Structure formats: structure tokens, C-alpha cells
Chains A and B, each alone.
Chain A
Amino acid sequence: MKKLVSVFAMLAILFFVAAIPAQAQINSAVATVPLQLSVPEFLSISILSGSPQVFPSGGGNANTPLVVSANWNFGQARHLSYLAYFTSSNGLSGTATGFPVPTGNFNLGSSAQNGQIGNGGPCGQSIQTINNSFPQMVTPPSAAGNQNVCPLIFDGAEPSGVGSVTSTLSLSVNLPANTPVDSYTGTLSLAASAL
């Protein structure tokens, strides 16, 4: 008897389920939303080596190897200027020699190979390509308070997208024998901007 009841119950369930009218599936229209993603452009300079060690001493000659990297993310081709220069605020009678380039790895493309160095700048050097080494002898001014500027101008490059340039800068300071160490001050500046 119980078995018969359960069979009828199952049949009843099937009957009611089958009696439910089938509903047609209604698909909504596909909505599209334009997705805009913009990565902000930026320009940065990084010091890849540690603090430079310069220990000029009386009659000494110290070198400062410094590995620096300029990095950029441009949304369009831009005219990049990258400078490194050394300034001394006190009146040294010695000489400072800057050896900015040799280049490390360039991924600027062929158009970037026509950089120039100090077009008639304070160091009086002529235009050279960035692939050349260019020892620059600079005589600091005799009067205190003047600036001794020796620029490396890496200009004319027109990179776009993400890129970087790594350079090894070497600042050589040669002081006369009678210059006390604590009288020496100077700043190595690294500047970058893009038109």
C-alpha cells in the first residue's frame, strides 16, 4: 500500500512539474561600455650605484664612478634632454674633470644616436655624439662663489613608450696640494626633461 502511495505521489509531482508552462528565455540587449585606460606619463632618474665616494685631498685625484639611469614612460615621441653637470661653489684653483658618458645600454632607437654635448656651453666643448667618450677639463673659477659647470647634454633623442638609458658618470676631482679637504664643496646634478 505504501509503495502504491509513493508511486502516485511521484506521478503527481511529475504531473505538476509538466504542467508548469515553459517560459521563453529573454535575453537583454548587450550593453557595451567603453573602457578607457590611460597610464600617466612619467620621467624619472635613478641612482643605481651607491653613494659616490669622493675623497679629494691635498694634491689628490679622486674618481667618482656613478651609475645613473633615466627612465621614462611616454605616450608619444618626445624630445628628451638629459644633463649631468658638476658645480663647485668655492673658488678652487685646481681642476675638475668630468667624464660623463660612456654609455651602457641604449634602447632609444637610431634617432637617439645624435645627442650632443654642450653646444658651446661653459666648457666650450664641441658637439659630439653620445657614443664618444669626451674628457672635459674644467678649471674652477678663481673667485669664490662662482659656479663651475661642465654639462653633459644628451639631447635630440626622441623616444616614445617605455624606455631607459643607463650611464656611468665619472667625476674626477684634482686638487692642488695645499687645498684642505674640508674646504671643498660641490654638487653633481642630474637633470632630465622632455618636450
Chain B
Amino acid sequence: MHRAILILVLILPTAALGQRIGPISQDFGHGKANGSVTITNQQLTPLAVSLSSFQFVVKDGQKQTITTEPGVSVKLAQTSLKIPPKQSRILDAEVICPQGCNVEISAAMLSPGMRTPSGVQIRLILGSIFYVAPANESGKDRRKKVLIAGNVKP
């Protein structure tokens, strides 16, 4: 019992280093997405976040990153931000792809506390996905359709 309490006490101060992202994915239709991603800093120190995006396809049961196709535009309201301790920030993002696309908004988080004296640092990366249907389709069940087409259980 005492050992369990001791372990809990040791873990609790550091468990707050976790970072969180949501929603996990969103469906959009008609070749355009106006969405937002919420990033939460659960630690007790400010968090620097670097944001990027990449396009991917789901093929043969795997997610495969591809170079951005012509006609695909991704606009992030910010590409870097600093989140105060125990707070969240909402990032707006716009994706335009008339032919339909899958875009992951990737948030790379570097915590100042997670760097060793020798220079090794820890980087946490979390992604939020925008599934965008072509211009002539609605976004209903877009994720499901993409996963089924990619041989992934939806």
C-alpha cells in the first residue's frame, strides 16, 4: 500500500506532461473544409507548438503520406503558438481540394522541461484529420468511405 502511494506521488507531478489534441477527425463536403483543432497544454509550463499539415491517402490498409496534390490548399491560422499552462488554444484551418482529399493537421510540441543536459529533447506530435469530400459530394460518412476504399476497417 505504501509502495503504491509512493509510486503515485512520484508519477503525479510528471504525468501532467501530456498534451492533447481534438477532435481526432472531421468530415467535410463539397471540396472545402473550415474547421478547427483544439490543442491542450496539460503541463505546468508554457508549451511551444509548431503546426504543419500534410496530405495522405489510405491505401492497402495503411496511411501513406503523399506530396500535396495540385489544387489542394491548406491554410492554417497560425503555424506556431505558445500555450500557457493548463490552457487550450483553438486553431482554425481551411482546406480546399475540389477533388477531395485527406489532410492531417500535425501539432509538434516541444516542452522545455523535456530536454536533457546533453541535448536530447523530447518532441510530442499529435494529429487531427480533415476528411474532405469532392465538390459534388456531401461530407456525410466521408471518413468511413475513405477507410473502406483503403481497406481499413472503418
Which residues from chain A sit less than 8 Å from chain B, CB to CB? 40-56, 64, 66, 69, 71-72, 74, 77-79, 81, 119, 155-156, 158, 171, 173, 181-182, 184-195
| Residues of chain A within 8 A of B63, CB atoms compared | 79, 81, 193, 195
- Which 8 pairs, one residue from A and one from B, show the smallest C-beta to C-beta distance? A46-B18, A193-B127, A191-B125, A42-B22, A44-B20, A47-B17, A185-B119, A189-B123
- Is B126 within 8 A of A187, CB to CB? no
- Is A195 within 8 A of B58, CB to CB? yes
| Cα(A119)–Cα(B62), bound, Å | 10
- Is A69 within 8 A of B25, CB to CB? no
Question: Given A54-B116, A190-B122, A193-B126: A43 and B25 within 8 A (CB)?
Answer: no
* Interface flag for B114 (CB, 8 Å): yes
Per-position binary interface string of chain B over residues 139-154, scored 1 when its CB falls under 8 Å from any chain A CB and 0 otherwise: 0000100010000111
Size band of the B side of the interface? 35 or more
* Interface flag for B68 (CB, 8 Å): no
- Is A195 within 8 A of B147, CB to CB? yes
- Is A54 within 8 A of B120, CB to CB? yes
| Cα(A195)–Cα(B24), bound, Å | 8
Residue in A41, A155, A185, A189 whose CB lies within 8 Å of B22: A41
| Residues of chain A within 8 A of B120, CB atoms compared | 52, 54, 64, 171, 173, 184-188
- Is A53 within 8 A of B116, CB to CB? yes
Min CB gap A28→B, angstroms:
39
Q: Which residue of the partner chain A has the closest CB to B125?
A: A191
Question: Given A51-B116, A55-B118, A195-B63: A188 and B18 within 8 A (CB)?
Answer: no
* Interface flag for B33 (CB, 8 Å): no
| Residues of chain B within 8 A of A186, CB atoms compared | 119-121
Question: Given A171-B120, A193-B129: A47 and B153 within 8 A (CB)?
Answer: no
